A and B are shown apart, each in its own frame.
Chain A
Amino acid sequence: MYKISFISLNEKALLLSFGNSIDFATHEQVIKAKNQLEQNKFEGFTETVPAYNSLAVFYQPEKVIKTKNTIAESVTEQIKNILATVDSLSKAPLHSIKHIIPVCYDEEFGNDLEELSEQLRLTKEKIIQLHSSVSYKVFMTGFTPGFAYMGILDPQLFTKRKAKPRLTVAEGSVAIAGSQTGIYPMSTPGGWNIIGRTPLKIFNRLKENPFLLKAGDEVQFVSITKEEFTNLSLV
């Protein structure tokens, strides 16, 4: 197990930090710790918020069994005990769900393809090929409900965010920024470079689980035509 540092986020949450970088190995430790804590809940546990190299663990202070000076210290001890058993599991591969996500990279949707092509000195076809040829890991969700932060992009696609964020980005827009790619689950402002759009609903509040993607999942983008996009949108 990684060396984990503990710090209180507030009276109701501890922040577990796993090193200082964005990489798959660190993230795998985060997800393993998350799974372990969800399967072995301590008294008062409510939920976790995973990110790239950290995991926030929320709890109800009044329900925690106090064994130390502060409630936070008591929870820290209990979490350490639960995670101590992860060692034996850490070599086992993590089971993750793989999603195939169709994307139409037509310029009608990929508003920034033209600009990116110039900036990255790659043809549009190359950008599309690079983006859809590997699968990505969902590192975390956030920003808006269900926005998945995925990576890691081929280094040739690394870009800055737009200097001026758009006031509205269409729902389903597939975008890149830095070493990451993401999908806008709903129409919101946004500063990432838009290269396509998926007809899939990434967030559907009428479903029992409204979120299509969660941290730890894998995503493979598949290029589709405009016609296929229209047909899939009707489903």
Chain B
Amino acid sequence: MDQYSAKLANVLVGNNECETVMEITQSPHRFLFLKDTVAAFTGGGLQPQQNNQNIPLNQPIFIAEKSIVELKQQREGFRLYIAVAGGMKADEFLNSSSTDLLIKAGGFRGRPLKKNDVVELNRKLNHTQEQLLDVLRSNAELKLYDHSPAFKTKTIRVITSAEWNYLDEDMQQQFLSGKYIISSQSNRMGYRLNGDVLKTNKHCEIISSAVTEGTIQLTSSGEMIVLMADAQTVGGYPRITQVCAGDLSLLAQKKPGDEIQFQLISLMQAEELYLEELNKLQQIKSVIKQLGAAS
């Protein structure tokens, strides 16, 4: 869901950014590490701990063989990500190792993880990762990323979409000034929003056409649905706006009951935000690479 945190966790441990990571939303959890590991925790919601000591987030860390890491609910945000150097072994389906619970495909046998499951490494560590393991094992601390995302922010930036004109000017204003609560009827496919309903004099139905993650649909009741990571590929509701890629990760860190507001930006700004994010990951990548080359 929070793709940025997932990618960040990967690059922090020297993986390709699309390696399989673990996404965790509910506490408590306890993990036993079966061998010396370079890991990174990113995202929100849970705080990883070892012997009741907080493990820092957003940096690569060394976890020794036979250590136990516990996750406790106590931070802003909703989803925690764990990446390990070498990645996690997972089933692939349609070029993705994400878990699809509906058709029970991908990930760990197409199902959520449960007690006593053993997750294996996907590949041997590369040279850089071996170096990283050695450096971190000797108690060095690597702070590569001191800019932790602000999950408290309520503002979600959007761009106009194909059916923005289904709202008249007043309703467009109402959309942009309104406060919306993420409904308990939300899941990985979409977040339903509670708040003042939007009225349109147009029929809330279009000839089914493509939708994607972040598409905000206006339903006939005047309520909105924000499509999320497991969204369908086509839909028949008007697409009024689109959450910009840069803020989709922030939205994924919101949970039912959280309040959000929308802010309109231009497509050009949205493209810039997207490239900025990519750039940040690129910078971390090159630092990690240099580290491997230097040692």
Contacts and interface: CB of A to CB of B under 8 A. Distances in A.
Nearest to A186: B103
Interface in A105-157: 140-145, 149
Contacts of A69: 268
B233 A61 contact: no
A52 B268 contact: no
Interface stretch (A2-10, A89-97, A219-227): A2-10
A13 B232 contact: no
Contacts of A49: 210, 233-234
Contact of B210 (A15, A62, A72, A188): A15
Contact of A56 (B105, B212, B267, B278): B212
Given A13-B210, A51-B210, A72 B275 contact: no
B209 A7 contact: no
A11 B245 contact: yes
A9 B215 contact: yes
Contacts of A65: none
Contacts of B105: 205
Contacts of B215: 9-10
Contact of A8 (B103, B207, B211, B267): B267
B54 to A, nearest CB: 35
Nearest to A140: B234
Interface residues of B, number: 31
A203 B100 CA distance: 14
A10 B207 contact: no
B217 interface: no
B218 to A, nearest CB: 16
B208 A51 contact: yes
Quick one: which of B103, B159, B208 has the most chain A CB within 10 A?
B208
Contact of B242 (A9, A21, A51): A9
A198 interface: no
Contacts of A17: 162, 209
Given A15-B162, A62-B278, A56 B207 contact: no
B210 A8 contact: no
Nearest to A8: B267
Nearest to A188: B102
A186 B102 CA distance: 9
Contacts of B159: 8, 10-11
10 contacts: A9-B162, A9-B212, A9-B242, A10-B215, A11-B267, A12-B212, A20-B207, A53-B209, A61-B275, A141-B233
Given A53-B207, A141-B233, 9 more contacts: A7-B161, A7-B162, A10-B270, A11-B274, A12-B212, A15-B210, A17-B162, A53-B209, A186-B102
Top 3 closest A-B pairs, CB basis? A56-B210, A142-B234, A49-B210
Interface of A: 7-13, 15, 17, 20-22, 49, 51-56, 58, 61-62, 69-72, 140-145, 149, 186, 188, 203, 205, 210
